[in-house]
Amino acid sequence: MSTKQTAEPTGTGTELHPGRPSPALTLTAALLGFGLICLDASVVNVALPAIGDSFGSGMSGLQWVVDAYTLPFAALMLSTGAFSDRVGASRAYALGTAVFTLASVACGLAPNLPVLLGARVAQGVAAAVVLPASLALVRQAYPDTAGRARAVAAWAAGGSVAVALGPVAGGALTTALDWRGIFFVNLPVGLLILALLRRAPRSGRRPAPLDVPGQVTAVLALTSLAFAVIEGGTVGWAALGVAVVSGAAFLRIEARHPHPVVPLALFRDRTVTAAVATGAAISVAFYSMVFVFSLFFQQVQGLSALHAGLLFLPMTGLIAVTNVIAGKLASRHGTRLPMLLGQGLAVAGLLLLLCVDAGTPPGLLAVLLVPMALGCALTVPPLTAAMMDAVPAERAGLTAGILNAARQVSGALGIAVFGALISDGFVTGMRLSVGISAALLAVTFVLSFRLADRAASRPGTRCGRRSRRSPRRAGTGS
């Protein structure tokens, strides 16, 4: 994901030029779009049982409702930054928002599951365009460093708030309007964004190379892998073969392409490898647990969608605040301390969840989910700062795209794997899913212990300053 755009004329970011709209208008449009795509990544979880009842869908169908959005969102994010540069951020943002809005309406009107899944794919493709373009718009609207830092912080906070509100909004809309309401609500927001964009300045274009073969093989490999896990059986084994062949082709293409979407040489740096692995483990734990426990509250404990959504409020409501605390800790103490504290807290929280069964009081479970979520939120900003310090400045946008894509892909694959586990026995599969998440984070905890100190203390790094900017790189708060 490239975040570099043609520079705006010099001047202060809040200075009004003749005929030029206030930068706050552009920031509002960018924040609304980023918040919308983040909301859609989490709002659907609580509505899954209602969707399943409406279409008579089993567990695999519910998994695809989530992953049909997440997989293209994650995979295409590797290239959509370059696309945004080529056509101009404002044009890319308008196109992505329009497609996302129309796809949301198609989701709400879907007469059957295949149509819903197709519309969810369109949403994911559009979201992959919206994310880098929204950040590029903020960059252009605030050319001065201080104003841009405040604007990016507001942009990142909008994503964190959207993630936090997702389960609650999903429960409320499903209860009040049926599950289709979670998609129809995107229509007025999308139209508002497009109206604001009409008054925003147009972005310049610049040449940006695209690695089409690499992008195609990446999408094919990831989709086939998810299909193999979700569907299983003979078809699943065939899909796994396609995933292996596509993955090998992807690695070969990336090793030879002059402008690869994923430069493999980046992973020669152990800090980059550790940061990507940690980000992936965090996403598996957080997004997969929201998926699993959304179903647990409703299918096992028999709660309503609204009640289930409200039970997630304690764990999601503190994410944005914890992100800020993590940035301050990293600024004062380096990236190592908050990474270790965060992962340790997340592992401890996951181990507590191993005691949960069908008779656990819902209120107690809501409290038990909090340490895991806070640990994840505490880890993301410093791990992103450590990764940014490990690469040259000119590769920061590309590296941020790789990190975000890895996190989204891992979350999607985690949902695929854990959905398969709980379909064979919910409580047993749930505990196994929790145990796997804890084991993954325990491994990355060791990697962070060995490598984070080097990233934080290496001479010439600017950990503190990067940590304050880390929400821009992290994408979403947890």
More confident residue, 160 or 446: 446
Over range 315-336, report the average pLDDT: 76
Q: Tokens for 257, please give them.
A: 């392409």
Q: What is the pLDDT of residue 35?
A: 87
Which residue in this structure is represented by tokens 């992962």?
A: 343
Nearest alpha-carbon partner for 370 in 356, 350, 390: 350
User: pLDDT at residue 173 above 80?
Assistant: yes
Residues 6+ apart with CB under 8 A from 465: 331
The DSSP element (H or E) to which 351 belongs, if any, is: helix 336-353
Is residue 299 classed exposed, middle or buried when 0-12, 13-18 and 19+ CB atoms within 10 A define those classes? Answer: middle
Is 476 in contact with 371 (CB distance < 8 Å)? Answer: no
The distance of Cα 203 from the centroid of its chain, to the nearest Å, equals 25
Q: What is the pLDDT of residue 203?
A: 64
Is 130 in contact with 96 (CB distance < 8 Å)? Answer: yes
Over range 400-419, report the average pLDDT: 82
Task: Assign 424 a pLDDT band (cuts: 50, 70, 90).
Answer: confident
Highest mean pLDDT (candidates 28-32, 380-384, 469-473)? 28-32
Q: Are residues 128 and 237 both part of a single domain?
A: no
The distance of Cα 301 from the centroid of its chain, to the nearest Å, equals 28
Q: Are residues 226 and 322 both part of a single domain?
A: no
User: pLDDT at residue 333 above 50?
Assistant: yes
Q: Tokens for 277, please give them.
A: 């692995």
Q: What is the pLDDT of residue 434?
A: 94
Q: Are residues 444 and 382 both part of a single domain?
A: yes
Mean pLDDT for all residues in the chain? 80
212-236 in b/e burial notation, b at 16+ Cβ within 10 A?
A: ebbbbbbbbbbbbbbbbbbbeeeeb
Is 201 in contact with 42 (CB distance < 8 Å)? Answer: no
More confident residue, 257 or 104: 104
Provide the whole-model pTM.
Answer: 0.74
Q: What is the pLDDT of residue 325?
A: 78
More confident residue, 317 or 425: 425
More confident residue, 430 or 70: 430
What CATH number should be reported for the domain holding residue 287?
1.20.1250.20
Q: Are residues 278 and 138 both part of a single domain?
A: no
Over range 57-70, report the average pLDDT: 86
Task: Assign 472 a pLDDT band (cuts: 50, 70, 90).
Answer: very low
Quote the CA–CA distance of 53 and 60 in Å, as a whole number.
13
Quote the CA–CA distance of 279 and 339 in Å, as a whole number.
11
Last residue of one domain, picked from the residues 231, 258, 285: 258
Q: What is the pLDDT of residue 190?
A: 92
Q: Are residues 71 and 195 both part of a single domain?
A: yes
Q: Are residues 359 and 478 both part of a single domain?
A: yes
Q: What is the pLDDT of residue 207?
A: 64
Q: Output the CA–CA distances (angstroms, integers) from residue 468 to 137, 252, 451, in the order listed.
A: 20, 37, 20
Query: What string of DSSP letters covers 409-435?
Result: HHHHHHHHHHHHHHTT-HHHHHHHHHH
Which of 6-20, 21-35, 77-91 is predicted least confidently? 6-20
Q: What is the pLDDT of residue 452?
A: 46
More confident residue, 70 or 385: 70
309-341 in b/e burial notation, b at 16+ Cβ within 10 A?
A: bbbbebbbebbbebbbbbbebbbebbbbbbbbb
User: pLDDT at residue 5 above 60?
Assistant: no
Q: Are residues 215 and 195 both part of a single domain?
A: no
Over range 419-426, report the average pLDDT: 87
Q: Are residues 195 and 309 both part of a single domain?
A: no
Q: Are residues 234 and 350 both part of a single domain?
A: no
Which of 110-119, 128-137, 178-187 is predicted least confidently? 128-137
Quote the CA–CA distance of 304 and 135 in Å, as a whole number.
37
Q: Are residues 69 and 85 both part of a single domain?
A: yes
Residues 6+ apart with CB under 8 A from 244: none
Query: Domain of 234?
Result: 211-258
Q: Are residues 224 and 352 both part of a single domain?
A: no
If one counts the domains in the chain, the total is 3
Q: Are residues 168 and 242 both part of a single domain?
A: no
Task: Assign 210 a pLDDT band (cuts: 50, 70, 90).
Answer: confident
pLDDT tens sequence across 229-283: 777 667 778 888 988 998 899 889 888 888 787 888 878 878 888 888 998 999 8
Q: Tokens for 236, please give them.
A: 């699943």
